[in-house]
C-alpha cells in the first residue's frame, strides 16, 4: 500500500551482534530492578522529562521572566532552542534507525504522540534531560549573576536565608540536583523497559552535543 513505510534495510552482522548483546544486558537489568524500582517515581520522572510537559513550562517561564534577567537569555532561551533542535535531530535518527522498543515491558501505558515515538533508538527522554543538565552546568555564571542581581529578589532572599548568601554554592547545588535528576531519568528508561542501554547512552551523548551546539550558536549570534 502507498502509505506503508519502506522496508528496513538488512542490519550488518556486527551491528546485529552488538544489538543482541545490548538487548540481553538490558533485559537482565530490567528483570533485576523491576521488583525493587518504585514504579510511581519512574513514571513521574518520565512525565517530567516529556517534551509535552517540559517545553510549555519552559516557554511560560521565558515570557514570565524579565527581559533584563540573565536567566532569560542565558538559560531559558537556550533550553527552548535546544528543545526544538533535539526534537528534529532525535526524530531524524529514529526514522533512520527504526529500532523497535523492548518487547518484554508493557508499553501500552506510554502515550506516543507520533509514530516515530514507537522507535527506541535513541532515547528522546535521555537526550532531553542531558541537554537540560548540560545547559545548567555551562550557564553557571549567568545563573549566579541572576541570583545576585535585582531581577529576582525572592531568589536572593532564599539564598541568603538557606545558604548564607553564597550564590556560587547555591548554583553548584542546583546543578548537582539537575544532573542527579538527569542521570536518574536516563537509568529509569532501561528499568521501565522503554529503552535498551545503547538507546539511553547515545541519547545522553546527543543531548550533551545539542547543548554545546546551541550555546555556541547563541554566542556566535551575540558577536555579529
CA–CA distances in Å: residue 64 to residues 68, 189, 221: 12, 32, 23
What is the largest distance, in Å, between two alpha-carbon atoms of the chain? 67
CA 208 to chain centre: 9
- Pick from 127, 125, 165: nearest CA to 45: 125
Taking the C-alpha atoms of residue 102 and residue 191, their distance in angstroms, rounded to an integer, is 11
Contact 133, 86 (CB under 8 A): no
Of the chain, the end-to-end C-alpha distance in Å amounts to 50
Contact 120, 101 (CB under 8 A): yes
Contact 106, 200 (CB under 8 A): no
Q: Is 195 a catalytic residue?
A: yes
Cell of 54: 517540559
Which one from 47, 125, 154, 160 is the annotated catalytic residue? 125
Q: Is 74 a catalytic residue?
A: no
Active-site residue list: 125, 195
Amino acid at each position: 500500500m502507498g502509505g506503508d513505510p519502506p522496508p528496513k534495510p538488512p542490519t550488518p552482522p556486527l551491528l546485529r551482534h552488538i544489538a543482541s548483546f545490548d538487548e540481553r544486558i538490558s533485559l537482565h537489568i530490567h528483570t533485576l530492578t523491576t521488583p525493587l524500582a518504585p514504579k510511581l517515581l519512574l513514571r513521574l520522572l518520565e512525565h517530567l522529562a516529556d517534551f509535552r510537559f517540559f517545553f510549555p513550562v519552559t516557554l511560560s517561564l521565558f515570557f514570565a521572566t524579565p527581559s533584563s534577567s540573565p536567566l532569560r537569555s542565558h538559560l531559558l532561551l537556550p533550553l527552548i532552542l535546544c528543545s526544538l533542535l533535539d526534537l528534529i535531530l532525535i526524530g531524524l535518527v529514529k526514522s533512520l534507525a527504526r529500532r523497535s522498543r523492548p518487547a518484554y515491558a508493557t508499553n501500552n501505558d506510554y502515550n506516543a504522540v507520533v509514530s516515530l515515538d514507537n522507535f527506541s533508538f535513541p532515547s528522546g527522554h535521555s537526550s532531553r534531560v542531558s541537554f537540560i543538565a548540560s545547559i545548567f552546568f555551562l550557564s553557571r555564571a549567568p545563573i549566579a549573576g541572576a541570583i545576585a542581581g535585582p531581577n529576582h529578589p525572592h531568589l536572593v532572599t532564599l539564598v541568603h536565608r538557606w545558604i548564607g548568601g553564597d550564590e556560587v554554592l547555591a548554583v553548584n547545588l542546583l546543578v548537582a540536583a539537575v544532573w542527579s535528576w538527569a542521570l536518574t531519568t536516563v537509568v529509569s528508561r532501561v528499568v521501565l523497559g522503554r529503552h535498551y542501554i545503547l538507546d539511553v547512552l547515545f541519547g545522553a551523548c546527543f543531548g550533551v552535543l545539542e547543548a554545546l551546539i546551541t550555546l555556541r550558536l547563541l554566542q556566535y549570534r551575540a558577536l555579529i
